[in-house]
Structures are given as C-alpha cells and as structure tokens.
Amino acid sequence: MIQNFEYFMLPLLKIISKHQRIFLKDAIVLIKQQEKYTDEDLSQTIKSGASVIDNRIAWAKTYLKGAGLIEQPSRGSQINISSEGLSLLNQQIECIDKKFLYLKCSKYREWIEAFNSKAKSNEIEVQSNAESKTETPEEELTKAYDSMKSTTCRDLLDILYSVDPYKFEKIILDLLVRMGYGKAIETKRSNDEGIDGIINKDVLGLEKIYIQVKRYNKHNKISRPTLQGFVGSIHNKDSKGLFITTSNFTPEAVEYAKQANLVIINGIQLTELMFDYDFGVQTRTTLNIKHIDDDFFNDE
C-alpha cells in the first residue's frame, strides 16, 4: 500500500541531503527502491493517468520547498537541501507532516497564508485529529481544487520572476486580450512616458486603458511615489490606468490607488487571472460532479 504524500516528506529530504543535488525523478527511483513496493503498488495511477507514487512524492517536494527545507532554482532543475533542512535533520526527527511544518517552519506558515487567507483553518488544523473531519465530499473536493490552484499559481509566479522584462510585458498584454479587451499596443520600447502598453477597453477602441508593469521580486514592493509617477504620465490622456506587478504594493500605495481610481494587480492576483483564463496553464483533468435530477422523476 502506498502511503499518503506527507509520509514521503522525510524520506525525500534525507535522500536530497545524502546526494547534495539530485533531480526529482532520480529521487523518486531511489525512494521506490528503498520502500520495496510491489509491482501492483507501482502500477497504481490517478485519474489523469499519472503514477500515484510519483504524484505523491512530487507533492511532498512542493511542501518541502514551500517550507524552505529544500531549494530548486527553477522548475525541473536539480534539488538541494537548505540550511534549514539540514538543521531539521540534525534533530533526528521521526516524521514530517503538514502539522509539523506548520508548528516548526515559519516559512511554511508564510507560504500557505500568502496565497490562501483560509489556509490556516482549511489546510492545517493543528488541534484537530482525523475524526474531526466534517466536510462533505463536495467540500473536500473543492478544498483539494483550491489547494492545487494555489500551488499552480505559486509555480506560475516563480516562472514570471525569471521571465525577460520585455517578454513579461507581452505576456500581460496578451492576457488582457484573452480576457476580452480589444487590441493591445506595446509602448515600452519606444519609451512612451513610462507607459508600457495601451489596450482598448472595447473592440472599437472608443476608450483606452494605459498600463504599466513591473516584474519585481516579492520583497520589492511598489511604493506610492511609483504610482504617482504613472498617474502623472496619463493624467492628460482622459483614460484609465492599470498597474500590474509580480510583487505587491505598500499600504500607502494601495490607499493612493483608491484615491486616484487606479486599478492595481499584484503577483498573486495576476497568476490567479492567468489560471482562471487558461493562460500559461493547461487543463489536465476534468471532473463532472453530478446529482439527481428530481424533475426527471416527477410525473406531472
């Protein structure tokens, strides 16, 4: 029988520590050999056709990375253990699970809380046990979907941090077109007063939206003066402004945006839009939840 994904956190962390740098696929092979699974175990697949054990170990890696215990510079690259991960192993721990990560790793708490305001209550119930579960099957399914969406959005944001700035601007403009806006014009290369792009609010171009984008890391927040500079560049154009960043905005910037009637989108909101509009992501599995059609059985 294959254990749940939390079980694999400690074996995976130990293997990464032993090999210093290793690809996930190679670590999966070593874990399979170590656990001595039967051919029947290894042949199990999830609905999408992927291997059950491969999928669970991959999720274990996601959580270890979120907790800051391992490092992976880019998707698909080799994984190495962090100083926090080494320190944890030196404590001779017997298991790692979500509850353990929540109690011991501040980076893990930041990781889940940054993308889901309900993560503390939904994903980690520190004082609960297995018997306290009260969700209906549909609620559990929704929670699982939200968790996978958050993970995908986090991965998207990691990718956007490393995208070429000009490529990032094009991604933003193409996304807005996907969302139903009219023709998009890229202006950054022509140094048009700090305006990176212009989109038509409608297909006829009767009203324009001026855009500025900043591909910043998560610690480099957009300040009020930056927004003021952007607003100043469009104030004579009698149009609306949209400011998009991969990072976030300072409280002063958020308050100013409200006063200036400026729409702002941070990194989390951006990746959620990409997810919702199938932009940069692909649908792997579709589940149809069905219920009884009462009208079908009514003889009226």
Q: What is the pLDDT of residues 130-172, one digit of tens each?
A: 343 445 667 778 788 888 899 999 999 999 998 998 899 999 9
Supply the pLDDT for residue 120: 46
Adjacency order of strands within the sheet including 79-81: 21-22, 79-81, 70-71
Q: Any idea which fold 5-113 has?
A: Arc Repressor Mutant, subunit A (1.10.10)
- The single-letter code of the amino acid at 48 is S
Q: What is the DSSP string of 244-297?
A: EESS-B-HHHHHHHHHTT-EEE-HHHHHHHHHHTTSS-------------GGGG
User: Top-level CATH class of 165-276?
Assistant: alpha beta
For residues 78 and 70, give the distance between their C-alpha atoms in angstroms, rounded to a whole number.
11
Supply the pLDDT for residue 116: 63
The rounded percent of the chain whose pLDDT value lies above 90 is 53
- The single-letter code of the amino acid at 8 is F
Q: What is the DSSP string of 58-100?
A: HHHHHHHHHTTSEE-SSTTS-EEE-HHHHHHHTTT-S---HHH
Neighbours of 242 (CB within 10 A): 20
For residues 201 and 180, give the distance between their C-alpha atoms in angstroms, rounded to a whole number.
9
Supply the pLDDT for residue 194: 65
Contact 245, 266 (CB under 8 A): yes
Q: How many CA within 13 A on the CB side of residue 240?
A: 14
Supply the pLDDT for residue 129: 41
Dump pLDDT digits (tens) for 195-240: 888 888 776 767 888 999 999 988 899 999 999 999 988 876 667 8
Residue 49, strand partner residues: none
Helix (H) or strand (E) holding 112: helix 106-115
6 DSSP assignment? G
Supply the pLDDT for residue 299: 61
- Residues in CB range of 31: below 8 A, 6 or more apart: 8, 11, 12, 15, 53, 57
CA distances from 53 to 12, 22, 24, 159, 238 (A): 12, 18, 12, 26, 57
Contact 207, 193 (CB under 8 A): no
Supply the pLDDT for residue 32: 94
Residues (pLDDT < 50) of the chain are 118-134, 190, 192
Contact 12, 57 (CB under 8 A): yes
User: Model's pTM, two decimal places?
Assistant: 0.68
- Structural domain boundaries in the chain: 5-113, 165-276
- The single-letter code of the amino acid at 246 is T
- Residues in CB range of 178: below 8 A, 6 or more apart: 277, 279
